Structures are given as C-alpha cells and as structure tokens.
Amino acid sequence: MAKNQLKNFNTDLSEWFTDVILKAELADYAPVKGCMIIRPYGYALWEGIQQFLDKLIKEKGVKNAYFPLFIPMHYLQKEKEHVEGFSPQLAVVTVGGGEELAEKLAVRPTSETIMYDMYKKWTSSWRELPILINQWCNVVRWEKRTYLFLRTSEFLWQEGHCAHLTHEESSEMVTWALNAYEKTYHELLGMYGIKGRKSQSEKFPGAGDTFTFECMMPNGKSLQACTSHDLGQNFSKSFDWTVQDQNGAKVYPWQNSWGLSTRAIGGLIMAHGDENGLRLPPQIAPTQIVIVPIPGHSSALAKAQEVYEEIKKNYRAELDIVEGETAGFKFNKWELKGIPLRIEIGDRDVDSNSIIIYRRDTGEKINTKIENYQQTIEDLLKDIQDSLFNAHKKFTEDHTFAVDSYDEFKKIMETSRGFIKAHWCENSDCEAEIKKDTKATTRCLPLDAPEEEGKCIRCGQPSHHRWIFGLSY
C-alpha cells in the first residue's frame, strides 16, 4: 500500500477527504443517492462519541427515549417558521401498505413537533416539569449537494429536547449543552473551536436564538460542529401547550433543543489528517495501538503476542499477524487508518530486549526497553492527544484575522480564508450582500466577544461587536 495512493492533502483536500474515507474503510456510498453506508471502523468512531457524550447527558439528568421516524404533516405545519425552514428538504411518504395515505407523513428531519405533542399529553402541572429527554436516532433531510459525513440525506445524531417552567432554567440547559459539546470536541476529538450565537438569518427555524460551536478546517472553511437552540415558548404556543404554575395560572413551558451529528466525524477526519491519511486522537481512536511483528524467527512473533496480551488489558489494541503482507504494507495500512501508536518487534529487538514505538502524529520512532514500554505508551498517548488539540488550536488562531475594511475582508476570502473578525451592523440585508460579494457567512458572535464600538465593514453603520465570518462547509 503505497503512501501516494491518496490525493494530495494540501492541494486537493476535498478529493483527499473522500479518498481517505473510502480507503480507510470508514464509509462507502449507498445505492440511494446522497446516502452513505457507515462501515464498522467509521461506526466505531460514532460509538466513541456516543459513549462520551451520553455519559455527560445522563450526568445532567437527561434520559434517553425514542420517538417515531414518521411525522404527520399537520404537526410540522403547526409552527410556521419551522415548516418553512425544512420544507425544501422534506422526504414525504404518501403510500403505505399499497394504499394512499389519508395524511402525508414526513420522514423525520428533526423531532420537535412530534415530541412536543407528546409532552403536551404528558403534562398539566408545573410538578411534571422539567422534561429532560434525548434521543439517538437517524434523520432525513433531502440534500441537493451531499458530502460523505459532512452533508448526507440521512445522518445519525442525538437530539435533546427539554421543557422547563422558566426561561432561566431553559437558558441554563442551552448553555450546558453547548459546553458539553465543547468538552466532547476538546477532550475526545482533540478539536478547538469558537462558541457563539448565530445571526437571526442563520438560526434554527423556529428558535429564538441558536448557539453554535464553529471549527476551522485545513482549507480555512468553517464547520458548524453542533448547535444548541433557545426555542423560547414558540413551540408550546404553536401546540397550545400550557401547564398550571404554582399560583394556579396557565403558562406556556419554555423549551430548548440541541444536537450533534455524524458530521463530527467529518470534522475529525479533516482537522487532524495529513498526506498519509488519518491521524486519530487516542481518546477516540477505535484502536489505540497496533503491534506488528517483523517477519523472521518465531521469537519475534512470540514476543509480539506476549506484548499484545499485556497491552490489551489497558488499551484498545490489535495484533497484526496477517500473512502475505509485507511489514511496509502493514505500516502504511495502519498509518492510513490513523492508529496513534505502532509497536514494531523484530528478532533484533527481541535479542536486545527492546521494542520500537512509532507515533503516527509526528512520525517519530522511539526505541525503548521492554521493562519501560508501559510507561512510555501511557506518556506518548497523552502527548499525542494534547499535541493534536494544540496544533488545531494554533492553526485556528493563526488563521483568524481582525479586519476593519471591506477590501481587506475580500482579500482574505480570496486567499487564505479562515475566520474573519469584523464589525457588522446586524442588518440581514447587509449580511446577504456580504455573502453575495464574498461567499462568506456570519458564523457566530463569540460568547466572549467584548463590546467594541465600530462601523460595519460593508455599509458603515454603527456596530457594537466583531462577528466571526467565514466560508461554510
């Protein structure tokens, strides 16, 4: 397996991305246009995300449930902005059991409407609040332009849907979800990003406010990595859902929703990839260590087996004893798959009571004595996790630019791209013109953005903050 089999990472990132997904056996194209098959290695990444995030969700007191894939059309139509936002992407079932349905059914694009109808059924008093429910499921949004993991007509995600008696409680959950996502990206996926609030034109249909975690990719484009929505009372009012408060008055519950999808895997692939394939952070890697005995005498194989039996007690490990493949072929195979550490054991290593450890992120080879390898492995895995995160953070910071003129804004968009911090008047018409002129969209207003008086880079009207602009995936 030659390293040059992949497309060029630096000049053809889009083609490299598809190439590495297929050759590393993460996913494949499905017979249905716009859909994908997630292969075991790719699904193991999703399982890792599930396990990490689900633990955080349950610690917060949110419980998992499941709601139907099919949603009656009149449910979607109860919230005008919501249905208008999703109508172009709806897949609709009109026939069931060989007969035309009395009412069309939408294939779940998101679950607000069907879940909230049930929440209304289950509650009548403030005592039944809060409702804290999450579901892990698939959704369908019929995309015109698709991209493996990043944008497919069907994808996997989790969607949390909570209802509270007060806006204060609901807002706290919105913030908690965004912080939980940040923790997932930082500690598990080794990815840096910016937390912020979406503009009104970029928010979720039906939400009062949408909050996002934006990550920069190697080509300077921005990936909306997850979202958390303050729904206010929009949906409870649409469904005429009230509960009795402590004073006996009827009030509309306050709601929020939040989601992270298999898009996270697409971001992971690009954020840490290189010319040789994947580079997986140890915390998320399905296999953290692969042991490759170098063909020779049986002593190398026996030692490799011994080391493997010991390592697998504490780490996710594999022993590659496949016959008919050269050592070089195996090395390239595991590099492509992004395994953080590779242990090589040959006859000479056995004779010298040592092993060679190769770290995927830097290409460095470390020769260590058998008696020291456990501590070396522990230290290396931690260092790889930290190094990949720090590298992505540095790349993001190095490609974040503050500008005060429209000409400078345009120049960056035409060349280096990245995040542009610029004053904007927050007028949607002006926002649309900026997108028309440069293809850049408002990514978010960072939550920690200081108040700063300035002038909109396009129209010159007063501005109070610098927004983050970028080219969207």
Question: Is residue 331 over pLDDT 50?
Answer: yes
The 10s digit of each residue's pLDDT in 97-148 is 999 999 999 999 999 989 999 999 999 999 999 999 999 999 999 988 899 9
- pLDDT at 371 (0 to 100): 87
- pLDDT at 85 (0 to 100): 67
- pLDDT at 2 (0 to 100): 47
Give buried/exposed letters for 96-116 (b at 16+ CB in 10 A, else e). Answer: eeeeeeeebbbbbbbbbbbbb
Domain ranges of the chain: 3-272, 289-376, 400-470
198 or 79: which leads in pLDDT? 198
Report which of 64, 62, 231 is spatially closest to residue 132, judged by C-alpha positions.
Answer: 62
Q: What's the whole-number average pLDDT of the chain?
A: 95
Lowest mean pLDDT among 1-10, 278-287, 437-446: 1-10
Average pLDDT over residues 449-469: 97
What's the whole-model pTM score?
0.95
Tell me the DSSP string of 412-426. HHHTT--EEEEE---
Residue 268, CA distances (Å) to 49, 185, 466 in order: 11, 9, 28
Sort 430 into a burial class: Cβ within 10 Å, 0-12 / 13-18 / 19+: middle
Of the candidate CATH numbers 3.30.565.10, 3.40.50.1100, 3.30.930.10, 3.90.1520.10, the domain formed by 3-272 belongs to 3.30.930.10
Report which of 263, 275, 270, 293 is spatially closest to residue 360, judged by C-alpha positions.
Answer: 275
- pLDDT at 83 (0 to 100): 63
- pLDDT at 160 (0 to 100): 98
In angstroms, how far is the first alpha carbon of the chain from the final one? 31
pLDDT over 90, % of the chain: 89
- pLDDT at 222 (0 to 100): 97
- pLDDT at 370 (0 to 100): 87
- CA-to-CA distance for 339 and 277, rounded, in angstroms? 10
Of the candidate CATH numbers 3.20.20.80, 3.30.110.30, 3.40.50.2000, 3.90.1150.10, the domain formed by 400-470 belongs to 3.30.110.30
Residue 349, CA distances (Å) to 89, 296, 303, 340 in order: 59, 11, 9, 21
Question: Is residue 1 over pLDDT 50?
Answer: no
The 10s digit of each residue's pLDDT in 60-77 is 999 999 999 999 998 888
Question: Is residue 297 over pLDDT 90?
Answer: no
289-376: what CATH class? Answer: alpha beta
Question: Is residue 403 over pLDDT 60?
Answer: yes
Same fold, 3-272 and 400-470: no
